Each structure stands twice: as structure tokens, then as C-alpha cells.
Amino acid sequence: MRDQSPKYIGNTSYLIQKPSKYFSAFKRNKIMNNELKSFDLNNEREYKKFGSYLERILTNNFDEERNHGLIVVNTIKTSLIIFKQLEKIFKDNNWELESIKLLNSTFLSSYKRQIEKKCKQIKDSEKFILISTQTIEAGMDVNFDFVVRDFAVLDSIEQIRGRCNREVNKNKMGYIYIVKLCRDGQFDYHKIYPKRKIEATKDLLYNNLSYKLKEINKYYQEIIEGINESMGDKIHNTSADNISSFCNLKYKNSKDPKTNFNINVIENKFRSYSFLAEVNLHKDNFSRKEIIYLEKLQKKKI
């Protein structure tokens, strides 16, 4: 948050009193591993080791009737690799292959809604595993018994923890497993997240995987200090100046060093092509307005 000075400030106004009380009271899950294991998915030996590690997690949870699992990774490529691994694991254990689903940003929003619907309809006794990228972090009201999460910034880890034992089953604590997945000599999280936030998360999790509210607050304080360190001297405008600039669509004026507010537009430096893929979708995948619109188009063609 910012006041009228150019710098960000660390003072937080909580919407509730004594947040630590609720943080403890609503504990729905816990991180099960004591250390962060690393696996190189491009190395055949490491790939097999991760497969064995994943199989142990599934077997242990299924034996305890924790049948609904979520695996969240940082890249589409990794989600496909793990999907193939799970197919082999399920075949070897004679588990139903239809119980594995994949979700990433390459799928249509209608498919995402289908997955959400499937998650809500699955029976407690049925085995079900969803492999997903960060796509699941936004706008999906789903609940899982256990979660395997590739290392990420604390914000994303907390987002995913919110999908584990979401309905607060006090008789069945949710289980979280955090791993570090590597491909082509680079950890996937380096391809996605800002270095400063990754380093702050490492400082937090490398020392204590069972972090508490105090450590979370420390994490965000480090992020704020980092913003001030890297940008504080470059920000000349106050919040009021920026609001005024927005209202007046005031672009950067190179002759006035104080006026450094500007609007950046993403430049497409690469060649891109669009194409349409025909798919069969059930009527339930569309809203009422969408159905009315499509029916009108169909009548015009007739």
C-alpha cells in the first residue's frame, strides 16, 4: 500500500482483529515433508525417482481414504510430463485411468468449468487426481484431500493451500507436499516468478516448512523493502500525482523529469497466428446469454 509519499509502506490495516487467532483456528492442512526434494525431469534416473516419490504419496493417501489429489506445477510442459507419469502409475496399480484429469491454459474456459463441475460431483470413495498449472489459482471453487505443489512464491503456495481441505474437515487434515522440479538445467519456478519473491520464499521455507503468520508477515515486509530499494529512487510522483495523471490521461513528458508517469503497452515482437479448432461442447458449458446469441446466429445462417 502507498500513502502520499513515493515509497511503499509496510503498515497493514487488517480487516479483522487479532488475525493470528483466526490463522490458527482455521488450520485446514499441513506441509508433510521436512525438506524440499529436487527432481530433474530431463534426467532419466531423477525422472524415475520422482515417479516413485509421487506413487508413494498417492498410495499413502489412498490408503488413508484421502482419494482426491491435486498436483500443481509451474509450466505447461511439466504438466504434460507428469500427466504421462501418472498414467503409468495408475496402470501399474490397476487404478482407473479416467480418474486422471489435466488442466492448463491451453484448454478452453468451458473445459475448465467441466473440470470444476467434475471436482464437485466426484464421490468421496472415488480416486481422482487433477494435474494443473497456476490456472487453478483463479476462480475455481474446488476442494482436495492432498496437494503436491512445485516450488513457487509464497503467494501461490498459499493460494493452493486454500484448495486443500477447503471445507475444513476436522477429522481429516489436508496434506501438502512441496517439491522442486527442474528441466533443462533450470528450475521451473525461475521461468515464471520474480527473482526477489522467489528468494524471499526460499528464506522462509528453507528454514521452516511449517511457517506461521509471523513468518508470512516477514515475507511481505521483505517484498516491500525490496520494492523500495529497487524503485524508491525512481518514483518521483506521489499517489495523488498518479491519480491525477490517470484522470487526465497524462503521458510521459521527457522535458519534465518529475512527470515520469507513463502507460506501457505490451509490444508483440514475435509473429503470432490465430486458428480455430472445432470441438463438441455440451449445452451446459454455455451461459443463457451465450445460448441466445448462438441461436440467433444459427437462425441467420438458416
In a domain, 70, yes or no: yes
125 and 247 housed in the same domain: no
In a domain, 11, yes or no: no
Q: Which domain does 128 fall in, by range?
A: 19-223
74 and 197 housed in the same domain: yes
Tens of pLDDT along the chain (302 residues) come to 444 455 555 555 667 777 777 777 778 889 998 888 999 999 999 999 999 999 999 999 999 999 999 999 999 999 999 999 999 999 999 999 889 999 988 887 878 888 888 888 999 999 999 999 998 887 788 899 999 999 999 999 999 998 899 877 877 889 999 999 999 889 999 999 999 899 999 988 877 788 888 888 888 888 888 777 776 555 555 666 666 666 766 555 555 555 555 555 555 555 666 666 666 777 777 778 888 888 888 887 65
Q: Is residue 176 within 8 Å of residue 154, measured between CB atoms?
A: no
81 and 206 housed in the same domain: yes
pTM of the model: 0.76
In a domain, 297, yes or no: no
Among 254, 285, 252, 280, smallest CA distance to 109 is for 285
251 and 148 housed in the same domain: no
Return d(Cα 62, Cα 125) in angstroms, integer.
9
Give SS3 for 203. helix
153 and 244 housed in the same domain: no
In a domain, 279, yes or no: no
Residues in the chain: 302
Joined grid coordinates for residue 152: 513457487
The sign one gets for the Cα dihedral 49, 51, 57, 63 is negative
Amino acid of residue 18:
K
128 and 88 housed in the same domain: yes
Strands 68-72 and 128-132: parallel
With 0-12 / 13-18 / 19 or more C-beta atoms within 10 angstroms meaning exposed / middle / buried, residue 302 is exposed
In a domain, 275, yes or no: no
Counts for the chain of helices (H) and strands (E), in that order: 9, 8
CA torsion angle 54 57 60 62 (round to 10): -80
Q: Is residue 189 within 8 Å of residue 74, measured between CB atoms?
A: yes
Q: What is the DSSP string of 34-56?
A: SS-EEEETTSHHHHHHHHHHHHH
CA separation, residue 270 to residues 17, 75, 192, 265, 273 (Å): 50, 20, 19, 15, 10
Q: Where a domain ends, among 223, 247, 281? A: 223
**Per the structure, how many domains does the chain have?**
2
Q: Is residue 193 within 8 Å of residue 155, measured between CB atoms?
A: no
148 and 260 housed in the same domain: no
65 and 189 housed in the same domain: yes
Joined grid coordinates for residue 5: 509519499
pLDDT tens string 5-23: 555 555 556 677 777 777 7
Among 37, 36, 9, smallest CA distance to 211 is for 36
74 and 188 housed in the same domain: yes
The residues facing 2 across adjacent strands are: 8
Return d(Cα 170, Cα 64) in angstroms, integer.
15
